[in-house]
Structure 1
Amino acid sequence: MKNVTFKNRTWDVAAVIRFPAGFDASNTYPAIICAHPISSCKEQTAGSVYAEALSQAGFITLAFDASTQGESGGEPRFSEDPATRTEDFRCAVDYLVTLPFIDENRIGVLGVCGGGAYAANVAMTEKRIKAVGTVVATNYGRMMREGDLSTDAALNLLEVIAKQRTAEARGNTPLLVGYIPFASQAECEQAGVRDVDMINAVDYYLTPRGQQPGSPNKLRLTSTAAAIGWDAFHLTDVLLTQPLHVVFGSVAGAFGSYRDGFELYTKARSANKSLHIVEGASHYDLYDRPEATTKALEQLIPFYQKFLAG
């Protein structure tokens, strides 16, 4: 395992590259880019669980922090901009193809949650990616448009963003909000929140279970306007042609990875596509619970072996 950086435009993107046992730099290997969820970082599920397991299965893996987040550079800090997030993937491929031990014709991608939707989206136009795997892929644009499910939630949020951007243009401090609106399980209970995804988000990100310095639960509000007008799965029926494996749990929650998983699988043009529903698993079970992640990897590893290792 080695800490590395690669460029996106003018800044450094921080990443961790993992090597399989018996790695020999004189040989060439397939590689898998591992993308973290919205609000996450490379030290959490995409890196510590999936990249680690895939490297043990014989692949070189590259888990990176999204631009403006974690240890990566880029401004404005804590932005969640789909254009920049997808460009990170292209730049990751650019980095991998400069390494003599990487087979440029055997590069794949695995994304978790929002990282899964970004992965599918970028693969439509980045054909150096030869296989796409997603775990609880969540369409961030769809989430932002639905908001709190109230009438005109997206339009109301856009009005708030417009006013805030004007205020910041006039010198006000940028508004940072939390991806997760509750600071503890107690706050969830006080608010009457019972949704499995929201409760588990607090448990994963804000307790020792998954908490990491690179994931501080900070989001620059004005950056989300672009996401509201963006659809991760737009044109997947026309342009997403690579082999695709979609994983999500049978326990549906408010974040929508259950229905997004079905939508991605159904719409994708890919001639080789497969769907794996992990029974009894919720969204966050597939982040780090061994009973769920092991089942996901039991099918993900053969998928990548079939389409990348041969």
Structure 2
Amino acid sequence: MESVKIRNYDMYWDIAADIHFPPSFDKSSKYPAIISAHPIGSCKEQTSGNVYAPALATEGFVVIAFDASFQGASGGEPRSIEDPVQRVEDFRHVTDFLVTLPYIDEDRIGVLGICGGGGYSINAAMTERRIKAVGTVTGANYGRLMRGNFTNLDPIGALEKMAKQRTAEARGGAVHVDDLLAGSVDEARAAGVTDRDPLEATDYYRTSRGQKPNGLNRSVLSHQAAAVGWDAFHLAEVLLTQPLCIVVGDQVGAFGAYRDGCEIIERAASKKKELIVAEGWSHYDLYDKPEPVAIALGKLIPFYKANL
């Protein structure tokens, strides 16, 4: 593995990424590449880069797992912004970097997105034609979440709060940062959380199972408004034509990856598309548990080999 910094020339900061190489890598050869994108508020050391990237590299792909702008080890201020437009733009900069590498076949670049990274991967592929195949694991449409459970089904009320906070910060007030998860599962239950997804998210991100220094699951309130008006699947019926492999679990929760997977399979203009349902497994099981991850990789590996 090699850690690199990718210059984001539009905004003047670097994107941090890890490149995972196949066995017996030969820099004089040409390889297909996969861009691996992490979940919302996460980092490349959580599932995208420590589970799926090495597994795909073992199968002959060069895999680049990157941190989103404002998150992880990437640049951008203030920290912990989850901006869908910038998240999609990050894919272009990573692709720009890949096509400068002599060992990458520019006609064989694919993407893999996990959770929110799945929605971003789909949206990026619609207008980034250098991406030739799209895979997602428990992919979620962040815009839908921000109009739904992430704003307590009150997007207008949430937008009003965001606007007031942005005005306060413009006048010199302190930046308000939300912790998206409780400190532990017990704390979440004590606060009245009962749904599978936030409880399992807490178990993943707030324990040794998935906790990483750069995976903070925090979000700047004043910069959340753009996400409320964004839709990962907008124009998929027209612009999403690449081969598509969507993996979801059937143990559903509030974050809605199962319904998003079904929706994008129905809406995508792609002629080659497949929905894989990992029966008996949930959103966060697919992050790192061996059996559901094996189900996902058992479909994704041949998918990428056939289409890259």
User: TM-score if structure 2 supplies the norm length?
Assistant: 0.98
**Superposition deviation, residue 179 in structure 1:** 2.0
| Structure 2 CA distance for partners of 1:128 and 1:42, relative to 1, 3 Å | same
- Root-mean-square deviation (CA, aligned residues, Å) is 1.0
Of all paired residues, the percent bearing the same amino acid is 58
Contact 2:149 2:255 in 1 (8 A): no
Q: Secondary structure at the match of 1:249?
A: strand
Q: Whole-Å Cα distance in 1 between the matches of residues 45 and 129 of structure 2?
A: 27
Q: Whole-Å Cα distance in 2 between the matches of residues 150 and 124 of structure 1?
A: 30
Q: Whole-Å Cα distance in 2 between the matches of residues 150 and 74 of structure 1?
A: 28
Q: Whole-Å Cα distance in 2 between the matches of residues 68 and 179 of structure 1?
A: 16
Q: Whole-Å Cα distance in 2 between the matches of residues 110 and 2 of structure 1?
A: 19
Q: Kindly indicate whether residue 199 of structure 2 is the aligned counterpart of residue 166 of structure 1.
A: no
Aligned to 2:293: 293
Q: Secondary structure at the match of 1:124?
A: helix
| Structure 2 CA distance for partners of 1:149 and 1:177, relative to 1, 3 Å | closer
**Superposition deviation, residue 192 in structure 1:** 2.9
Q: Whole-Å Cα distance in 1 between the matches of residues 221 and 70 of structure 2?
A: 13
| Structure 2 CA distance for partners of 1:168 and 1:132, relative to 1, 3 Å | same
Describe how 1:183-222 pairs up with structure 2 within 5 A.
Answer: 183-222=183-222
Moved more, 112-121 or 190-199: 190-199
**Superposition deviation, residue 76 in structure 1:** 2.4
| Structure 2 CA distance for partners of 1:166 and 1:26, relative to 1, 3 Å | same
Q: Whole-Å Cα distance in 2 between the matches of residues 56 and 178 of structure 1?
A: 36
Q: Whole-Å Cα distance in 1 between the matches of residues 274 and 209 of structure 2?
A: 31
Give unmatched runs, 5+ long, in structure 1. Answer: none
**Superposition deviation, residue 100 in structure 1:** 0.3
**Superposition deviation, residue 196 in structure 1:** 1.0
Aligned to 1:97: 99
Aligned to 1:305: 305
Describe how 1:121-270 pairs up with structure 2 within 5 A.
Answer: 121-147=123-149, 153-180=154-181, 182-270=182-270
Q: Kindly indicate whether residue 114 of structure 2 is the aligned counterpart of residue 112 of structure 1.
A: yes
Q: Whole-Å Cα distance in 2 between the matches of residues 245 and 263 of structure 1?
A: 13
- Matching residue within 35, 60, 80 for 2:62: 60
Q: Whole-Å Cα distance in 1 between the matches of residues 151 and 101 of structure 2?
A: 46
**Superposition deviation, residue 252 in structure 1:** 0.7
Give unmatched runs, 5+ long, in structure 2. Answer: none
**Superposition deviation, residue 148 in structure 1:** 5.7
Give the count of matched residue pairs.
306
Q: Secondary structure at the match of 2:282?
A: coil
Contact 2:80 2:220 in 1 (8 A): yes
Q: Deviations over 1:250-272 (max 9, x none)?
A: 11100000100101111100011
Moved more, 86-95 or 76-85: 76-85
Q: Whole-Å Cα distance in 2 between the matches of residues 132 and 81 of structure 1?
A: 21
Contact 1:66 1:88 in 2 (8 A): yes
- Matching residue within 9, 16, 20 for 2:18: 16
Q: Whole-Å Cα distance in 2 between the matches of residues 147 and 228 of structure 1?
A: 11
Contact 1:42 1:64 in 2 (8 A): yes
Moved more, 38-47 or 213-222: 213-222
User: TM-score if structure 1 supplies the norm length?
Assistant: 0.97
**Superposition deviation, residue 149 in structure 1:** 7.2
Contact 1:34 1:61 in 2 (8 A): yes
Q: Secondary structure at the match of 1:193?
A: coil
Contact 2:249 2:282 in 1 (8 A): yes
Q: Whole-Å Cα distance in 1 between the matches of residues 150 and 53 of structure 2?
A: 33
**Superposition deviation, residue 31 in structure 1:** 0.2
Contact 1:147 1:154 in 2 (8 A): no
**Superposition deviation, residue 150 in structure 1:** 5.0
